[in-house]
Structure 1
C-alpha cells in the first residue's frame, strides 16, 4: 500500500472518530509519537494525515501544545468523510425515504466541453443519465450526469435506482477522492418546473461538478438542479 493511501486511511479513521464523538470539540488528539505507535507508521505519514484534517477544517495545530479538535457541527464533520463527502444525494438524505425516477439512460459521444472535463476524446463513449431524485415523497433535484463508459464499467439501469457512488466504490472497488464544484442560481426550464413542482419564479441551485478518483482520473461530469427551498450547501473554509 502506498504512503499516500495509508495517510488517507488514517485521516479517515480519525475523522470518523471525531464524528462519533470519540474526540470531542476542544479535545486534544493523541501525540504524534502515540499515533505512530497506534497505526504502526512513520511520523511523516501521521503528519500528512493531520495536515489533511487541518485542510478539512476539523482540527487545529497549536505550536508547542499539540493538535486539537475544532468545534465543527456534526453534519459538517460527517460530510468530510471520503464516502459521505462525495456520496451525493443518497448520503445527504440518509435517514429519509428516497425515490429515484430514471428519466433518461443512453450511451452517447460527449460534446467537446464534457470530453475536456473528463479527459477523454469526443469519439469515446459516455453514459448519459438524467434522474429525478425525491426525498419523503417530494421532488428535490434533477441530475444530468455523464460518466466515461471505459472507466465506469457494467453500469445498468438498475444501478441508477440506488447511489451511483455506492456502485462505483462498492461494486467496482474504486476510491472517490475529490470534486470541483461551481454553484449558481439559475431559472428552471418549463420541464424542470413541472418535475420539481415549482413555479417559474423560483430559481434553482445549479451545481456543476467534475469528480475524481483517488488516482486523479475524472469519472463524472454533472449538472444538478436543486430546489432552492430543499437543499443547503455548507462549507468549512480554512486559511
Structure 2
C-alpha cells in the first residue's frame, strides 16, 4: 500500500469519529502525524474532497462534509419549478444594489459583518401573475459585476454560465407569515391571504454559502411537495 493510500485510509478512520463541519488538523500537523510528505497528503485530501467526504474553505482549513445533506437534497429553480407545473415563469426586478452584510445575512453567508454583498429583490411571475417576492443576497467577491447582468432571467443560469458556480445543496426553512401591506400590494392578495416564507441558504460543492434568499409565496397559488425515503 502506498503512503498516499495509507494516509487516505487513516483519514477516513479519523473522519468517522468526527462531526459534520468539524475542522481537521492543519496539513503540516497531519503530514507529521501520518509520516507523509505534504504533496502526498494533499493528493489524499484531494481524493477525499472529490468524493465529498471533506471540503476546504480558503484561508480557514479543511472540514468534514455533511454527507447526508450532500447526497439527498435536490435543487429546483423557480423557472424549472414553474415549467414542471405547466406555467410560464417570468421575473420583474424591483431593486438591485450593493450593500454590507450584517447580522443574520453575514452569519448565513459565513462572512464578517461589513462584507460587501449584492442585494436583489425580484417579483417572480407565473403566467404573468405574481407568485412570490424574492429577496436575495450574494457575496460580491464571488460574483464581480453581477448587477450588470440581465437579472430578469434565471439567476442560477447566470451563476453557472458566467461564474462557473453551481448549487450543490440547500438548507431551507418554510413558515407561514402574516402579509405586510407592501407584500399584499406586490402580490395582489387580500388582507386575510396566507403567505409562505421560504428562507434558503444555497451552497456550492465546496460547501461555501453562495446565496441567501427569502421568498414570500402566495399561499393560494403555491404549495410544496416533499418526497421522503423511509428506511428501516
Report the count of equivalent residues: 169
What is the CA deviation profile of residues 144-200 of structure 1, one whole-angstrom value per residue up to 9, with x for unaligned ones? 110000012331354311111111122211221111111000011111101111011
- Residue 128 of structure 1 deviates from its aligned partner by 0.7
Instruction: Say whether residues 1:214 and 2:210 are aligned partners.
Output: no
Give, in whole Å, the separation in 1 of the partners of 2:138 and 2:172.
Answer: 16
Give, in whole Å, the separation in 2 of the partners of 1:155 and 1:237.
Answer: 36
For residue 123 of structure 2, what is the aligned residue in structure 1? 132
- In structure 1, runs of 5+ residues without a counterpart are 8-50, 57-79
For residue 233 of structure 1, what is the aligned residue in structure 2? 224
Cα 1:230–1:2 shift into 2, 3 Å? farther
> What is the DSSP-based 3-state SS (H/G/I as helix, E as strand, rest coil) of the residue aligned with 1:156?
helix
> What is the DSSP-based 3-state SS (H/G/I as helix, E as strand, rest coil) of the residue aligned with 2:202?
strand
For residue 81 of structure 2, what is the aligned residue in structure 1? 92
> What is the DSSP-based 3-state SS (H/G/I as helix, E as strand, rest coil) of the residue aligned with 2:146?
coil
- Residue 233 of structure 1 deviates from its aligned partner by 1.1
Q: How does 1:47-58 map to 2 (within 5 A)?
A: 56=72
- In structure 2, runs of 5+ residues without a counterpart are 1-45, 53-66
Q: Is the 8 A contact 1:87 1:166 kept in 2?
A: no
TM-score by length of 2: 0.66
Q: How does 1:170-181 map to 2 (within 5 A)?
A: 170-181=161-172
Tell me the C-alpha RMSD between the 2 structures: 2.5
Q: Is the 8 A contact 1:87 1:163 kept in 2?
A: no
For residue 159 of structure 1, what is the aligned residue in structure 2? 150
